[in-house]
C-alpha cells in the first residue's frame, strides 16, 4: 500500500460519535504527558475504529485502538479526531484491541487470559496465538489446558512468576500422594526454594479445600467434617511430616559433608595462614561446635 492510499483511509470523525467499548484505566502521569505531547506537536497516529450503526446524525463507531489518544484529544477540547475505519465484527475488534494493547504495555492477567480464550474459541492454534501475543507456544498450550479445567489459582501463580507452567500442569493432574513426591523432588532439584515451596503448598491446600477458581466460599464452619475428610487430613499431615523428615535428613547429610570438607581444609597449615591473612577468623556456631576439639 502506498503512502497516499494509506492516507486516504484516514477519516476525520466526531469524538462524540465514538463509543469506548472496553474502557481501561490508565496512569495519570502518563496520560498527562500524552495530553502535553498532543498539545505541543499534534496527534502523531490516528485511532482505529469500526462503524457500528447509523442514525439521523450520521455513523456511530466503536473504538478498537487508541483510548488514550481519544481521551487526550477530548481533554484538549477537540471535537473531531483522525481515525482509521476498519470493517470488522465486534469479536475481532475486541481481540484486536487486546492484542495491540498487550504489545505496547505490560498486560494484566485478565487481559492476557481473555485474549487467549477468545483466540482459541475463534479457532487459533497455540502456535498462532503465540505469534500474535509474543508468548511461547508451549506456554500457551499449558495455559489453555489450565483454562479448560478452570484452574484459576494455578494460572495466577504462573502469571505472578512463582510457579513454572509445567509444575502447574502437573499439579492439575496429580493425586495427593503424587503431589507430595513431586514437591519433594522439585525442592531437591532446586526448582522450588524454601519460601516458594511453602507458597505452593499453601496454594495446593487452598485449592483442595475451596476449589480451583476464585470467588468460591470456604466450607461452612458449622458443618461437621466427614470421616473421609478427617482421613484425608490425617494422610496429608502424615505426608507433611514425612517431607519434614526427608528435608531434615538431607540437611544433616549436607552438614556432615560440609564439616568433613572443612575439617580437611583446616588441617592444612597453608589454608589456616590464608584465613588469618584475610581476617577470616570466625565460623558459624553449629560448625564450630562440630569441629571443636577435633582440630589439631
| Nearest CA among 93, 76, 74, 75 for reference residue 84 | 93
pLDDT grade for 104, boundaries at 50, 70 and 90:
low
Distance CA 130, CA 142 (A): 12
Q: Give the number of other CB atoms < 10 A from CB of residue 110.
A: 9
pLDDT at 13: 93
| Nearest CA among 205, 203, 153, 152 for reference residue 176 | 205
pLDDT at 1: 41
Instruction: Please tell me whether residue 19 adopts helix, strand or coil conformation.
Output: strand
Identify the residue whose cell numbers are 508468548.
Answer: 135
pLDDT grade for 8, boundaries at 50, 70 and 90:
very low
* pLDDT (mean) for 204-230: 64
Distance CA 223, CA 217 (A): 13
pTM: 0.41
Q: CB under 8 Å to 289, separation ≥6 — which residues? A: none
The domain limits of the chain are 1-89, 227-291
**DSSP per-residue letters across 62-74:** EEEE-HHHHHHHH
The upper half-sphere exposure of residue 80, i.e. CA atoms within 13 Å in the direction of its Cβ, equals 5
Q: Is the pLDDT of residue 296 over 50?
A: no
| Nearest CA among 200, 206, 212, 204 for reference residue 151 | 212
Distance CA 66, CA 100 (A): 10
Identify the residue whose cell numbers are 492476557.
Answer: 112
Distance CA 234, CA 225 (A): 12
**DSSP per-residue letters across 138-183:** HHHHHHHHHHHTT-HHHHHHHHHTSS-HHHHHHHHT--HHHHHHHH
* Residues forming a β-bridge with 218: none
Distance CA 189, CA 192 (A): 8
| Tens digit of each residue's pLDDT (9 = 90 or more) over 136-174 | 788 788 888 888 877 878 887 777 777 777 788 888 877
Distance CA 221, CA 236 (A): 20
Q: Give the number of other CB atoms < 10 A from CB of residue 214.
A: 9
Its CATH architecture, for the domain 1-89, is Alpha-Beta Complex (3.90)
| Tens digit of each residue's pLDDT (9 = 90 or more) over 254-286 | 777 877 887 888 788 888 888 788 887 777 776
2-16, 42-56, 160-174 — which is least confidently predicted? 2-16
Amino acid at each position: 500500500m502506498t503512502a497516499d492510499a494509506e492516507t486516504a483511509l484516514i477519516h476525520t470523525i466526531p469524538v462524540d460519535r465514538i463509543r469506548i467499548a472496553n474502557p481501561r484505566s490508565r496512569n495519570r502521569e502518563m496520560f498527562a504527558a500524552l495530553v502535553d505531547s498532543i498539545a505541543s506537536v499534534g496527534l502523531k497516529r490516528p485511532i482505529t475504529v469500526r462503524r457500528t450503526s447509523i442514525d439521523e446524525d450520521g455513523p456511530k463507531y466503536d473504538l478498537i485502538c487508541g483510548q488514550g489518544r481519544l481521551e487526550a484529544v477530548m481533554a484538549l477540547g477537540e471535537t473531531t479526531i483522525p481515525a482509521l475505519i476498519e470493517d470488522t465484527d465486534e469479536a475481532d475488534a475486541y481481540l484486536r484491541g487486546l492484542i495491540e494493547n498487550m504489545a505496547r504495555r505490560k498486560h494484566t492477567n485478565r487481559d492476557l487470559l481473555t485474549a487467549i480464550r477468545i483466540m482459541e474459541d475463534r479457532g487459533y492454534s497455540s502456535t498462532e496465538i503465540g505469534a500474535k501475543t509474543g508468548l511461547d507456544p508451549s506456554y500457551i498450550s499449558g495455559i489453555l489446558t489450565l483454562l479448560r479445567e478452570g484452574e484459576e489459582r494455578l494460572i495466577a501463580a504462573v502469571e505472578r512468576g512463582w510457579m513454572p507452567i509445567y509444575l502447574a500442569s502437573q499439579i492439575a493432574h496429580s493425586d495427593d500422594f503424587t503431589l507430595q513426591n513431586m514437591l519433594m523432588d522439585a525442592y531437591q532439584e532446586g526448582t522450588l526454594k524454601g519460601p516458594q515451596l511453602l507458597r505452593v503448598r499453601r496454594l495446593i491446600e487452598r485449592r483442595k479445600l475451596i476449589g480451583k477458581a476464585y470467588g468460591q466460599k470456604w466450607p461452612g464452619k458449622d458443618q461437621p467434617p466427614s470421616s473421609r475428610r478427617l482421613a484425608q487430613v490425617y494422610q496429608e499431615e502424615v505426608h507433611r511430616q514425612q517431607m519434614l523428615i526427608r528435608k531434615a535428613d538431607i540437611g544433616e547429610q549436607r552438614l556432615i559433608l560440609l564439616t568433613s570438607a572443612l575439617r580437611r581444609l583446616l588441617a592444612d597449615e597453608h589454608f589456616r595462614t590464608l584465613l588469618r591473612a584475610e581476617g577470616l577468623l570466625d565460623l558459624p556456631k553449629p560448625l564450630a561446635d562440630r569441629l571443636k576439639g577435633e582440630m589439631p
